[in-house]
């Protein structure tokens, strides 16, 4: 006599719940991607990426990649996006960590943004963080990196970001804070300026705060971690702090 083997009710319940969660996740991601693409399409129809980049590159504040000291480039990538020059598209590792933290907190507390994403944010968006905007950045990254090399994108980024105290762009910041052209920045000066854009209000040099100094040390530590400087260079800059920061 044949018998029909019944599924255990708890196992069947788990399968149903798991399937529902997967379905909801796929649907939610699809909605966010559609919203992000619509935002991206609207923005670039109003201001094409080539036009936005061209305007910046023709401005007096633009600094070409060959004018940037290697120490400054290394300082920025170490603390902002250390895989920038070796990766195309978004940083899935950073985004995965950010998503976990954001889901746990119920809001966006960590961006996981690459330098290219930050270029998109600075050109096309305000500083508010919403999930649809973050998904829109994915399409901007693909578009920007298909049309421009990483060196140009990096130069655009450092030429437009806020350094605090009313200074925008590395050229303005170097002259305003340190009274010297970008090309003459030392290692220690490069590390100091590289840390400011994360939170210009809190780290701007007019504050001369403990937070500014701690951020400076974070940049130097990241440079040691990614083998851009030695521990001896870290120790030297830790003691010889530029810009009057104490």
* Percent of the residues in the chain that have a pLDDT greater than 90, as a whole number: 63
* Percent of the residues in the chain that have a pLDDT greater than 70, as a whole number: 74
Task: Return the closest-CA partner of residue 79 out of 224, 222, 227, 200.
Answer: 222
Asked if residue 224 belongs to a domain, the reply is yes
Q: Please tell me whether residue 180 adopts helix, strand or coil conformation.
A: coil
Enter the tokens of residue 234.
């870290």
Task: Count CA within 13 A, CB hemisphere, residue 27.
Answer: 6
Asked if residue 51 belongs to a domain, the reply is yes
CATH number at residue 236: 1.10.3810.10
Q: How far apart are CA 230 and CA 246, in angstroms?
A: 23
Domain final residue, candidates 139, 157, 175: 157
pLDDT on residue 27? 42
pLDDT on residue 100? 55
Asked if residue 2 belongs to a domain, the reply is no
Residues 204 and 240 in one domain: yes
Residues written for the chain? 246
pLDDT on residue 207? 84
Residue 178 has φ and ψ, to the nearest 5°, of -120, 0
Asked if residue 73 belongs to a domain, the reply is no
> Which of the residues in the chain have pLDDT under 70?
1-32, 90-112, 127-132, 246
What's this model's pTM, rounded to 2 decimal places?
0.81
Number of domains in the chain: 2
Domain final residue, candidates 157, 183, 204: 157
pLDDT on residue 9? 65
Residues 174 and 146 in one domain: no
pLDDT on residue 181? 97
108: containing domain: 11-60+82-157
Residues 117 and 194 in one domain: no
Residues 96 and 36 in one domain: yes
Q: Provide the phi-psi class of 64: left if phi over 0, else alpha when psi is between -120 and 50, else beta.
A: beta
Q: How far apart are CA 71 and CA 185, in angstroms?
A: 8
């Amino acid at each position: 006599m044949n018998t029909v083997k019944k599924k255990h009710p708890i196992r069947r319940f788990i399968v149903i719940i798991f399937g529902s969660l997967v379905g909801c996740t796929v649907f939610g991601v699809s909605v966010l991607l559609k919203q992000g693409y619509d935002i991206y399409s609207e923005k670039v129809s109003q201001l094409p990426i080539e036009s936005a980049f061209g305007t910046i590159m023709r401005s007096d504040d633009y600094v070409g990649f060959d004018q940037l000291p290697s120490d400054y480039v290394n300082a920025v990538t170490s603390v902002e996006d250390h895989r920038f020059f070796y990766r195309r598209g978004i940083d899935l590792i950073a985004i995965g960590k950010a998503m976990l933290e954001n889901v746990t907190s119920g809001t966006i507390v960590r961006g996981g943004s690459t330098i290219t994403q930050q270029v998109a944010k600075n050109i096309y968006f305000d500083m508010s963080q919403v999930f649809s905007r973050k998904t829109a950045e994915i399409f901007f990254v693909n578009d920007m990196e298909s049309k421009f090399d990483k060196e140009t994108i990096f130069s655009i980024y450092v030429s437009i970001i806020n350094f605090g105290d009313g200074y925008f762009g590395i050229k303005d910041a170097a002259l305003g804070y340190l009274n010297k052209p970008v090309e003459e920045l030392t290692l220690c000066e490069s590390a100091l300026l590289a840390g400011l854009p994360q939170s210009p209000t809190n780290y701007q040099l007019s504050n001369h705060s403990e937070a500014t100094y701690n951020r400076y040390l974070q940049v130097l530590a990241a440079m040691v971690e990614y083998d851009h400087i030695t521990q001896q260079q870290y120790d030297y800059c830790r003691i010889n702090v530029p810009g009057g920061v104490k």
